[in-house]
Every structure is written in C-alpha cells, then in structure tokens.
C-alpha cells in the first residue's frame, strides 16, 4: 500500500481570491486567516480575497498570504481526516510543511515568512538581479551553460523543478547571456521571469543571515512527520537541522526534482498539493513519468478540488 505526501506551493502561486470559498464554507479555514491577521496586524482575508494585486505581489505580503491560504486549506483536510506520511514544500512552501510537521507554530511561521520576504527583497537593489526559466535543456548542458557565462557575473541554478524545467538566477548581464547560450545549446525556451529579485542564488546570502537571527528566537520542535528539505533533498531528522537548512535554502538551489524522487523511493504514491495553483502537481507529473513511477495527484485550492478529493463531502 502506498503512502501520501502533502506538498505546499511557493511564491508565484498567489492570486486575488485564493482561499475565499474554502474560508466561506469552513470555520477552521476562516480561523487560520484570523490567526494570521492577529499575528501580523494585517487583514489577511482582505489581502488574499480582495487584493489589490499590486499589494498581494509584494514579496513581504505574498509569502505570508500563500502560507496562510495553504494552512487554512490544510486545517479543512485535517477535519476530514486526510493525513500524510511525509511532507515538503517549494521554497516558501517548505514553511507550510514545517507547520504541518509541528516544527513551527503557525503564528510564528507567518511572522517569519513576512520578514523572510522583506529580507529577500531588500538583499539586492532593484535592477541588479533577475531570474530566467530554461525549458528543455538537460541538467548537464545547463551547468555547462552557466559555467560559460560566469565571466559576466553571478549566475546560478535556482530551482531544479522537474526534468527539462530549471530556473537560473543572478546578475542581469550574466543571466541574459546564459539565456542566449541556453538557446544555442538547444533549449526549447529560455525566458527572463517577471520577478522582483534574484531568488535562490548567492546574492541572497545577506537575507539568510537576517533570517537566521529571527529563527534563533523561535521555539522549534523536532518534526513529527518527515519533512524533505529543499537545500539538500534529504529528510529532516531533528530540530537542530532546521535553522541551518532554512538559512541555506534562501541562497541555494531548490532541489525539487530530487526531493520528489526521494519521496517516491520512500513509497509515496499520492501527492496532495495544498494551496493556490497547480504548479507542483505539474512538476510532480513530469518527475514521476521520468522516474517511471505511477502517482496520484491532487491540487486542493477551492471547493471544487476539495470535493474531487473527498467524494463523500
């Protein structure tokens, strides 16, 4: 018999209206938004349900908004008795997995990710760094591409999302040269992304150090459910690993493909994406196909998708 994993989305999944119909129908979800509002002194229902988009997309708002929506939906799934044997999240989403595993209390986590967003935004002045998605290029070829462009500045792999879907990050000239080189090497598509900072590269190390100070002031417990970390694609075994892992995660590559492969090796055959969007399910579908594994995929973000997961609702 296979096992279930909960996975949580990262920044970029947000949209105005996310979580609203779940919160309208379930008290537990509404209470999660209220808890986040109290913790932050910010009306999270208004931000998530009504926007405006220009406020929601600010990194220091986006991160707590997505986390709150994910935890609100998680609370509803738990009411239905839906549980998991393992959990992970993409970048910001890792904080959802840590809340699920009782490493952090939700109120602490939502304050932490608001600061995380602020630190990440402030680490690199506007116009210095960018990110780009490289599609249809093998990992080895991409690494060759990156190495050949380092003469122009900092350029690094930010996200190994799925086979043929890798995101790079760094200084503007170096990333743009890597985009050009990737196409020459046979990439199907290579495009600069509309993001506000060059996330998950060494330029973000100052943000990690600021985050470390916040983490050191928090109550951290050992995980009750295995959490697969982004930075190493390994299972988090004890609470002493939490701070180093999350500090490293800010400025290192997100090893999402390796993380999912590890979960499949640990007999996970059902993945439930909890929060806005369906991006993780799309990544996992490609990873599983490449890994020759059959998996069940669900993305729970509204009442329709909840009913698909729970037919007897």
253 is an active site residue? no
Q: How far apart are CA 148 and CA 173, in angstroms?
A: 13
Beta-ladder partners of 249: none
Burial of 216 (0-12, 13-18, 19+ CB in 10 A): exposed
Cβ–Cβ < 8 Å for 66, 11: yes
Catalytic residue among 37, 70, 196, 200: 200
Beta-ladder partners of 215: none
In Å, how far are 204, 257, 302 from 170, measured between CA atoms? 10, 21, 35
In degrees and rounded to multiples of 5, residue 105 shows phi and psi of -80, 145
Catalytic residue among 37, 70, 91, 169: 91
For residue 161, the SS3 value is: strand
Question: 51: closest CA among 23, 17, 22?
Answer: 17
Residue ranges of the alpha helices (H) in the chain? 20-25, 27-40, 44-50, 53-56, 59-79, 93-100, 106-123, 139-149, 172-184, 205-215, 242-251, 256-265, 279-290, 303-309
Task: Write the DSSP string, 46-98.
Answer: HHHHH--HHHHTSHHHHHHHHHHHHHHHHHHHHHTT---SEEEESTTHHHHHH
91 is an active site residue? yes
Residue numbers annotated as active site: 91, 200
């Amino acid at each position: 018999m296979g096992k279930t994993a909960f996975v949580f989305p990262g920044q970029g999944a947000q949209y105005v209206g996310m979580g609203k119909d779940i919160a309208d129908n379930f008290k537990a979800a509404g209470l999660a938004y209220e808890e986040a509002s109290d913790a932050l002194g910010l009306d999270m229902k208004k931000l998530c349900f009504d926007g405006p988009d220009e406020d929601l997309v600010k990194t220091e708002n986006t991160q707590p908004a997505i986390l709150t929506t994910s935890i609100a939906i998680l609370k509803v799934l738990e009411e239905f008795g839906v549980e998991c044997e393992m959990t992970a999240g993409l970048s910001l989403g890792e904080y959802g997995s840590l809340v699920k595993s009782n490493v952090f209390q939700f109120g602490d986590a939502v304050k932490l990710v608001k600061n995380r967003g602020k630190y990440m935004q402030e680490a690199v002045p506007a116009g210095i760094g960018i990110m780009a998605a490289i599609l249809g290029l093998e990992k080895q070829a991409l690494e060759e591409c990156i190495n050949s462009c380092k003469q122009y500045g900092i350029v690094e792999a930010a996200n190994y999302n799925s086979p043929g879907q890798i995101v790079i990050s760094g200084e503007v000239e170096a990333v743009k040269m890597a985009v050009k080189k990737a196409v020459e090497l046979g990439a199907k598509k290579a495009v600069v992304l509309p993001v506000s900072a060059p996330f998950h590269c060494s330029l973000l190390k100052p943000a990690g150090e600021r985050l470390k100070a916040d983490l050191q002031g928090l109550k951290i417990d050992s995980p009750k459910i295995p959490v697969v970390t982004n930075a190493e694609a390994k299972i988090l075994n004890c609470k002493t690993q939490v701070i180093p892992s999350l500090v490293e995660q800010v400025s290192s590559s997100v090893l999402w493909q390796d993380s999912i492969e590890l979960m499949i090796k640990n007999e996970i055959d059902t993945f439930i994406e909890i929060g806005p969007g369906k991006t993780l399910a799309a990544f996992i579908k490609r990873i599983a196909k490449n890994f020759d594994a059959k998996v069940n995929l669900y993305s729970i973000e509204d009442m329709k998708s909840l009913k698909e997961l729970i037919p007897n609702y």
